[in-house]
Structure 1
């Protein structure tokens, strides 16, 4: 709208997810400041401006920063951003499975009293998990079932040859997030919501899967629950559900609305 000053937001990374997040906002609504690996500035669309360092991103004083670049970016960028008083909306939640990373980020967040937002991403029902997580008998099993192409070309070929689903992993959410940093960030989001109850994670490559399928099965003294979601993969990234970028964008809008209401 003419006369409206764009809101300045930071963005770490400009891969498939970041592009999808940007596409969720009308042109001209956001003044994006993008920090990319190697400080690459090529192929940036109109209205998106590169910054050449984390210091320059902080100096631009964005209203918030969206992380969409992976676990390494979380470790190096989030503590300084939070310490500078800048809210962060985080995609790579699985990076918090590393105790040192978690401690550094939590310390910076608490000291600056600034929000660190963990969107629900590809799943729902996290409020239910938070409600029953303290029950001593709660049992929670999360199954991620995706087409083999979401994992590796070798695995895809194996699954096509056998036509059978392959269980790649069963264990804790922390192990899953570290073994599959591009596929299982959502597993650690579920574990954080359900804490202190443990979450058993199953990872299945299934040639019959019609999309990225997520199943959360819960049993406790207060009842049972089964959350099943089947998400279409992002067109340019089969490892990620298309709805994940929309969840990130919704989280950004909530932070901006809360900031406006508190101003």
Structure 2
């Protein structure tokens, strides 16, 4: 017997949300989407909901957030308190220590999982394994084509058409606060390698052929050099195409555990 499609929630329905809904079609999921833009040419297996209360009342099996850090702060606490598991795309929102603590407390109290997928990077198990070594040194470089940073370059009066421009160097938390829609991978890596510090560098590079993530790790356990060159989304060059695939994989793993209620 074929299982009935799962009822799932989606916060945001931009390029990333549409890719997720396309990956999990009508045989697998019935989506309820909450978006500030309202209903716009939604696929047949996607229906709008008016507000957060309506989404909670529908009791989706899980909710995926793809709308940015502000949406995490506005909606995630109530969903977790209502015992509805969440999969976060905007992991950078957790750079806010108060919000992170609030979400962890809500998850612990209700038993609803707060899932932070790997997203555009890998190697998290290796970083976690060496994180407690006293000599662990880690650096992450986000290297993207200038088109992905057009607004930031213009604001700073910088030109990256001929050579690479470093936009930021510092901690993962500061990077996530400065670039909340673009540096989720840095905070994901920082969470994996705690308590070891992670140095972050953000580069606009005309030679970059895709959204590139470079991870350098050195410790008594050895040296690791990881490089991921991800194809950008054809709709949003700041987002890697693989990000939606990672979110869908995490969601399917959550569903495979069984419905918590």
TM-score of Structure 1 vs Structure 2, range by shorter chain? over 0.9
- C-alpha change, 1:219 and 1:154, in structure 2 (3 Å) is closer
Q: CA deviation at 1:8?
A: 0.2
Structure 1's unaligned 5+ residue stretches are none
Instruction: Please give the residue correspondences for 1:55-74 in structure 2 after superposition, counting only pairs within 5 Å.
Output: 55-74=53-72
User: Structure 1 length as normaliser, TM-score?
Assistant: 0.94
Q: Hey, which bits of structure 1, 4+ residues long, moved more than 4 A?
A: none
Q: CA deviation at 1:135?
A: 1.3
Q: How large is the Cα RMSD of the aligned pairs?
A: 1.6
Q: Does 1:178 align with 2:163?
A: no
Residue 228 of structure 2 corresponds to: 229
Count of equivalent residues: 258
Q: Does 1:103 align with 2:101?
A: yes
Is the 2:25–2:45 contact (alpha carbons within 8 Å) kept by the matching residues of 1?
A: no
Residue 90 of structure 2 corresponds to: 92
Deviation string for 1:83-130 (max 9, x for gaps)?
111110000000000111111111111111221111000000001111
- C-alpha change, 1:237 and 1:71, in structure 2 (3 Å) is same
Instruction: Please give the residue correspondences for 1:195-210 in structure 2 after superposition, counting only pairs within 5 Å.
Output: 195-210=194-209
Structure 1: distance between partners of 2:75 and 2:132: 32
- SS at the partner of 2:64? strand
Structure 1: distance between partners of 2:135 and 2:258: 39
User: Structure 2 length as normaliser, TM-score?
Assistant: 0.95
Residue 42 of structure 1 corresponds to: 40
Deviation string for 1:47-99 (max 9, x for gaps)?
11111110110110111000000000000110110011111000000000011
- C-alpha change, 1:198 and 1:58, in structure 2 (3 Å) is same
Instruction: Please give the residue correspondences for 1:209-224 in structure 2 after superposition, counting only pairs within 5 Å.
Output: 209-224=208-223
Q: CA deviation at 1:44?
A: 1.5
Q: CA deviation at 1:134?
A: 1.3
Structure 1: distance between partners of 2:225 and 2:147: 26
Structure 2: distance between partners of 1:256 and 1:73: 23
Is the 1:83–1:112 contact (alpha carbons within 8 Å) kept by the matching residues of 2?
A: yes
Structure 2: distance between partners of 1:154 and 1:55: 36
